[in-house]
Amino acid sequence: MDRQGSEQFEIGRASPRHQGAALWLATGGRSRHVNRGRVTALLAAEKEGKISLDGLLSATNNNRVVAATWCLNQPGKIATIWGPGLISGIPDTLADELVTRSVKFAQQSGSHLVQSLVGAENPAAGEHLTRMGFRAITLLDQLHAFLDDLNVPPPTDRLSFIPCEDFRRSSFEKLVANTYDGSLDCPEVDGLRQISDVLAGYYATSSQNTAHWYTIKQGGDTVGVTILAHHTANHQLELIYFGLLPTFRRQGLGREILCFVIQQAKRLGCQSILTGVDQRNTPAMVLYHQFGFGLSDSKELYLKPLASLNVAVA
């Protein structure tokens, strides 16, 4: 580990005995009751090989964790940073150092984009991230609906939903890319990653199962795509993404798609549906609320594109 300044902070990968405290600070660290279960779940997931804590950094003083960040590299060449989280009285320069090292970790691991979702549990993190070159993009709302609370008619036969046979096909990649054209959901992200990387991220979120990915047709026309994930452990269906080609928007098709999604959730025996939406996407927000979706969480999205590292080959 490296020693920093007169107070001799030690910065480096969190040791096993410090992982719990580091996670607690990085993921919020304001309420023991709220955060304790989250930290316990993350430590258990790491032991089961579901997540990696290789990017969990801590700063210690006299063997006490005083600041932390956690960088998790994910499929699709994207990394997520939690934190920095600091105890009271710790200088901002220490937070800057932790963020710098987290970004370097992401870059060395091959990520092309770093994101951070900052919520009310750690509002100061946004200031630290901005100072280190991150850009605040928008507020992302997580919306949730319980099936028992929804009284929605089944979809009409206006649309057909064709299962995706291979998400790596160029035709499917092109379709998804074209649905991003003019999208109101985080348009700043467009072009920061290859579409193949974006789909790889969706694939990971879907537990590497495309059984609920669909191409949408209206008559003989392909009009869009919807990507769902069935989380069996939570009895939940996640609407990861749905998009329409520009010429087929504002025709009421979004309502038809949501009717289909809800029908699928019922067919699978799910208890609830989860989705996320950019607060600036007013048409989508209105549609979800009309169907009975409610707000479960809201976080501000920060982004930092990464330049590829040039590695010399001997």
Q: What is the CATH number for 251? A: 3.40.630.30
Q: Are residues 252 and 149 in the same domain?
A: yes
Q: Is residue 304 part of a domain?
A: no
- The owner of tokens 């985080």 is 186
Q: Predicted confidence band at 101 (pLDDT cuts at 50, 70, 90)?
A: very high
Q: Are residues 169 and 129 in the same domain?
A: no
DSSP 3-state assignment of 222? strand
User: Cα–Cα distance between 10 and 111 in angstroms, integer?
Assistant: 26
**Tens-digit pLDDT profile for residues 171-212:** 999 999 999 999 988 989 888 889 999 999 999 999 999 999
Q: Is residue 67 part of a domain?
A: yes
- The owner of tokens 């992200």 is 189
Residue range of the domain that includes 14: 2-133
Burial 26-45 (b: 16+ CB within 10 A, else e): bbbbeeeeebeeebeebbee
Q: Is the pLDDT of residue 280 over 80?
A: yes
Q: Is residue 139 part of a domain?
A: no
Express as a percent the part of the chain with pLDDT over 70.
Answer: 93
**Tens-digit pLDDT profile for residues 17-49:** 999 999 999 998 755 555 668 899 999 999 999
- In the prediction, which pLDDT does 311 show? 37
> How much is the mean pLDDT over the chain?
91
Q: Are residues 197 and 155 in the same domain?
A: yes
User: Cα–Cα distance between 269 and 266 in angstroms, integer?
Assistant: 5
Domains contained in the chain, number? 2
For residue 32, which phi and psi values (nearest 5 degrees)? -60, -40
What letter represents residue 94's amino acid?
L
**Tokens matching residue 66:** 């005083």
Beta carbons within 8 Å of 2's beta carbon, 6+ residues apart: 10, 11, 12
- 195 in Cβ contact with 177 (< 8 Å): yes
- In the prediction, which pLDDT does 151 show? 80
Q: Return the bridge partners of 3, or none.
A: 10
Q: Are residues 99 and 158 in the same domain?
A: no
pTM given for the model? 0.90
Instruction: Quickly list H helices, 146-194.
Output: 170-179
Q: Are residues 290 and 149 in the same domain?
A: yes
**Tens-digit pLDDT profile for residues 57-74:** 999 998 999 999 999 999
